[in-house]
Amino acid sequence: MTKEERRIMLEQKLLEMKAYEKDLYSKGVKYIAGIDEVGRGPLAGPVVAAAVILPEEFDVIGINDSKKLSEKKRDELFDVIKEKALAYSFGVVDNEVIDEINILEATKKAMKEAVMRLGIEPDHLLIDAVKLADVDIPQTSIIKGDEKSISVAAASILAKVTRDRMMVEYSEEYPHYAFEKNKGYGTKAHYEGIEKAGICPIHRKTFLKKIL
């Protein structure tokens, strides 16, 4: 694929990913917040949610589900999204709360926190696959929202980069588990670390029942 063909493809993708937003703008909605989380599956660390309100004219190409982007690309887009966003915020729920209330409820709690911390009150929420029953703002839950909505995809990038950086910091405090590489997911090196050193304060005990 030539550079020009790739640019055309990415511009087309951007148009497709703005469809939900375009529909809401056409109905008079002004502030649309995209919400996504990262960290449901790991054995350690927090679940992190991000909420972001992009301007209507947002036109940055290359934004997609954060899992489909390289770390370098995510880092680049992280800075661009923060610079161009009208508002963005985060919700972080740690492993102890995850163990207490379960991962789905912890995910919703992180998302709600992110919404409540936005500097601008959103008129509508676009959320990846979840409904926030106790948040009194009109909302649309989108399955695979991080692939279908520019706002949700932008939130997924903010959440992933933030959580990944947190796990790299944790790896310095708890060096046995290769958190800097696996970000808390259950890799071979991670399980070997648990075998040698036991669990550490950021492990999710409910995710490790078989071992414990």
pLDDT of residue 212: 77
Task: Specify the range with the lowest mean pLDDT, choosing from 8-12, 25-29, 48-52.
Answer: 8-12
Is pTM beyond 0.75 here? yes
What percent of the chain shows pLDDT beyond 70?
100
Of the pLDDT bands very low, low, confident and very high (cuts 50, 70, 90), residue 1 is confident
The average pLDDT across 77-96 equals 98
The average pLDDT across 67-88 equals 96
Q: Which amino acid is at 89?
A: S
pLDDT of residue 211: 83
* 127-135 long-range Cβ contacts below 8 angstroms, 24+ apart: 127/34, 127/35, 127/36, 127/152, 128/35, 128/36, 128/37, 128/152, 128/155, 128/156, 132/108
- Model confidence at 114: pLDDT above 80: yes
Residue 194: C-alpha distances to residues 15, 166, 187, 197, 206 (Å): 46, 20, 11, 5, 15
Domains, the chain, ordered by start: 3-165 (3.30.420.10)
Q: pLDDT tens for residues 158-205?
A: 999 999 999 999 999 999 999 999 999 999 999 999 999 999 999 999
Of the pLDDT bands very low, low, confident and very high (cuts 50, 70, 90), residue 210 is confident
